[in-house]
């Protein structure tokens, strides 16, 4: 389908204007309201002199305003750009310069960082500030978001192209974030399955109205930040089916509040990020009386985790509180979803079914050949489905890097390593960027983390390399324990040694009160390495 994502949402707004599109705390926004406010913002971008193709940076927490800004940029055929709201001024300049951005919509709490970096915005340097109602002054040169929308007329609808673009910055796992360039026609190819594989804009509207009448539309709680591809594409997909997306009132994970919000909204599906979300949520349920805990989770039918591995014991713990399906999805900003694991409880027994997407396969890193299912070999996961154009400003020879050509077809080499097990399933080992080279042996940090996380005393863990003059690096682990329990280093190291090769055992373990992770929930290995280095320097 040619055209623009905003055209899909306009069709839904026309077909079912009174339906609720977004819920944020006690705020409820209908499709009519979302469409009108986004049109007003698009009208302001045009009136301010921005042309189609201009880049609109979004520096916001999960909120109605985030979705409005995304939709407004698309309406005006401009390019929405996500950024990490935890970025420093230096990193923010990288976003601005890399994307050649001209405008930023930001939350007032981020005003200090934004103010230091706006010299890198190209003219006309538009700054819109979403007020936090603290009474603090807006940064110099910025306009109030709500006031601007109130005095701007909605932009008339226009024809758009499937070649209109969206930029998704990666999480920066291997360095500074890279800008992935998606075209709307490819995004729509991914979203269509949420509306019965719609092929026209009108069909999206028809499908959304029919779903609401049948009470089958998605009612999704989106916990990951929208500045990450999991949150953004998950939200876009739910809305494409005419569903309602719920955002938590808290900017950080507040598990007790989340369960109250789920119960209030009768949420049916929830998106999380692995153990870092799952374990605190389960602990919150355990603090409730048993009947109250089961009631809090009773509406949930599906819990989906994307972006990091979700340990089997954490899944089993959550399944104690409800009859839900747990979906563990392997995906990336560059290659979309490539594999999934579906876990549920049947007659008291936890079972898991594995699916490798038809467009995905495992490739030998050295030879470039496909690894056959059931071979027992380890390789790198490849996606050959609907793909973005590549990284903004980066050229490729088609033979190396993330975006390549194989047998005349474009592929994405995801960087995730997996083993094709003898029984035909797939075991995710870890991301190549998390590999620790110790004495010439490769150790995937993710694999070691999964073993340590199984210990009942462990609340969270990050594994990282510790520089060593003899071995190059040793395996180290930073561990946070559950309240009121104790475990020593030897016990955790021996646990790893029982399940994995001896060289994968942590040689240094540092216990901390809490683990620091990136806003996406992914491991901050630079932080962990610094903690381990500091601990080593003291001994």
Segment holding 431, helix H or strand E: strand 426-431
Is the pLDDT score of 173 beyond 50? no
Q: What is the pLDDT of residues 399-435, one digit of tens each?
A: 888 999 988 899 999 888 888 999 888 888 777 768 8
Is the pLDDT score of 397 beyond 70? yes
DSSP labels for 192-258? GGGGTS--SHHHHHHHHHHHHHTT-S-EEEE-S-TTSHHHHHHHHHHHHTT-EEEE-SSSS--HHHH
Q: What is the pLDDT of residues 479-505, one digit of tens each?
A: 999 999 999 999 999 999 998 888 899
Query: 13 or 525, which is more confident?
Result: 13
- Do the Cβ atoms of 408 and 384 come closer than 8 Å? no
Is the pLDDT score of 44 beyond 90? yes
Query: Domain map of the chain by residue range?
Result: 31-183, 253-356, 360-424, 432-537
Looking at the domain that runs over 31-183, which CATH code has it been given?
3.40.50.980
- Do the Cβ atoms of 57 and 45 come closer than 8 Å? no
- Please compute the mean of the pLDDT values over residues 291-320 and round it to a whole number: 91
- Helix axis angle for 184-191 and 229-240, nearest 10°, is 70
The winner for highest mean pLDDT among 36-50, 89-103, 193-207 is 36-50
Instruction: Give the SS3 label for residue 512.
Output: strand
Is the pLDDT score of 175 beyond 60? no
pLDDT band of residue 538 (cuts 50, 70, 90) is: low
- Please compute the mean of the pLDDT values over residues 436-452 and round it to a whole number: 86
Residue 324, preceding peptide bond in cis (omega within 30° of 0): no
- When the pLDDT of each residue in the chain is averaged and rounded to a whole number, the result is 90
Q: What is the pLDDT of residue 56?
A: 96
Q: What is the pLDDT of residue 536?
A: 65
218 phi and psi, to 5 degrees? -65, 140
Q: What is the pLDDT of residue 2?
A: 67
Written out in words, the top-level CATH class of the domain with range 432-537 is: alpha beta
Strands 458-468 and 472-481: antiparallel
Decide if 31-183 and 253-356 have a common fold.
Answer: yes
Spatial separation of the C-alpha atoms in residues 49 and 439, rounded to whole Å:
58
DSSP labels for 54-78? -EEEEE--SSHHHHHHHHHHHHTT-
Spatial separation of the C-alpha atoms in residues 371 and 502, rounded to whole Å:
27
Does the predicted TM-score (pTM) go above 0.75? yes
Which architecture, in CATH terms, is 253-356? Answer: 3-Layer(aba) Sandwich (3.40)
pLDDT band of residue 174 (cuts 50, 70, 90) is: very low
Q: What is the pLDDT of residues 254-264, one digit of tens each?
A: 999 999 999 99
Spatial separation of the C-alpha atoms in residues 13 and 19, rounded to whole Å:
8
Spatial separation of the C-alpha atoms in residues 353 and 348, rounded to whole Å:
16
C-alpha pair distances (Å), 401 with each of 396, 406, 411: 7, 12, 11
C-alpha pair distances (Å), 385 with each of 330, 332, 405, 412, 458: 14, 12, 13, 9, 38
Is the pLDDT score of 107 beyond 90? yes
Q: What is the pLDDT of residues 155-170, one digit of tens each?
A: 999 999 999 999 998 8
């Amino acid at each position: 389908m040619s055209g623009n994502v905003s055209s899909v949402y306009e069709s839904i707004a026309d077909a079912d204007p009174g339906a609720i599109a977004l819920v944020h705390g006690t705020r409820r926004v209908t499709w009519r309201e979302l469409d009108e406010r986004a049109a007003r913002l698009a009208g302001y971008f045009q009136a301010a002199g921005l042309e189609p193709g201009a880049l609109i940076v979004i520096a916001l927490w999960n909120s109605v305003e985030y979705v409005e800004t995304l939709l407004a940029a698309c309406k005006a055929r401009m390019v929405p750009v996500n950024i990490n709201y935890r970025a420093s001024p230096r990193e923010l300049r990288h976003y601005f310069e890399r994307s050649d951005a001209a405008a930023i919509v930001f939350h007032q709490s981020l005003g200090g960082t934004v103010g230091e970096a706006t010299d890198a915005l190209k003219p006309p340097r538009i700054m819109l500030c979403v007020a936090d109602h603290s009474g603090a002054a807006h940064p110099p040169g910025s306009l109030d978001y709500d006031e601007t929308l109130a005095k701007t007329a909605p932009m008339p609808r226009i024809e758009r192209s499937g070649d209109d673009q969206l930029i998704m910055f990666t999480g920066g796992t291997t360095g500074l974030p890279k800008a992935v360039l998606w075209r709307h026609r490819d995004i729509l190819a991914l979203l269509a399955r949420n509306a019965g594989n719609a092929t026209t804009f009108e069909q999206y509207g028809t499908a959304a109205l029919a779903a609401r009448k049948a009470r089958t539309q998605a009612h999704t709680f989106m916990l990951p930040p929208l500045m990450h591809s999991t949150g953004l594409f998950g939200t876009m997909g739910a809305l494409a089916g005419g569903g309602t997306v719920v955002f938590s009132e808290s900017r950080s994970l507040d598990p007790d509040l989340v369960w109250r919000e789920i119960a209030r909204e009768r949420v049916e599906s929830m998106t999380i990020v692995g153990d870092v979300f799952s374990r605190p949520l389960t602990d919150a349920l355990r603090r409730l009386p048993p009947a109250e805990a089961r009631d809090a989770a009773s509406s949930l039918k599906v819990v989906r985790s994307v972006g990091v591995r979700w340990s089997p014991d954490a899944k089993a713990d959550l399944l104690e509180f409800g009859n839900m399906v747990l979906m563990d999805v392997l995906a990336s900003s560059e290659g979309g979803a490539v594999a999934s694991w579906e876990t549920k409880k049947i007659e008291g027994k936890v079972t898991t079914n594995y699916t490798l997407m038809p467009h995905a396969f495992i490739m030998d890193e050295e030879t470039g050949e496909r690894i056959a299912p059931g071979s027992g070999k380890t390789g790198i996961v490849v996606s050959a489905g609907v793909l973005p154009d590549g990284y903004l400003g980066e050229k490729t020879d088609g033979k190396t890097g993330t975006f390549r050509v194989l047998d005349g077809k474009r592929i994405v080499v995801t960087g995730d390593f997996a083993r094709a097990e003898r029984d035909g399933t797939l075991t995710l080992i870890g991301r190549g960027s998390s590999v620790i080279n110790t004495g010439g042996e490769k150790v995937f940090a993710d694999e070691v983390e999964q073993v340590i996380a199984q210990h009942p005393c462990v609340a969270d863990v990050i594994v990282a390399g510790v520089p060593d003059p003899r071995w190059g690096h040793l395996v180290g682990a930073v561990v946070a324990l559950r309240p009121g329990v104790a475990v020593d280093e030897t016990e955790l190291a021996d646990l790893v040694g029982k399940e994995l090769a001896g060289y994968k055992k942590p040689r240094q373990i540092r216990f901390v009160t809490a683990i620091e992770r990136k806003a996406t929930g992914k491991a901050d290995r630079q932080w962990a390495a610094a903690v381990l280095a500091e601990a080593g320097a003291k001994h």
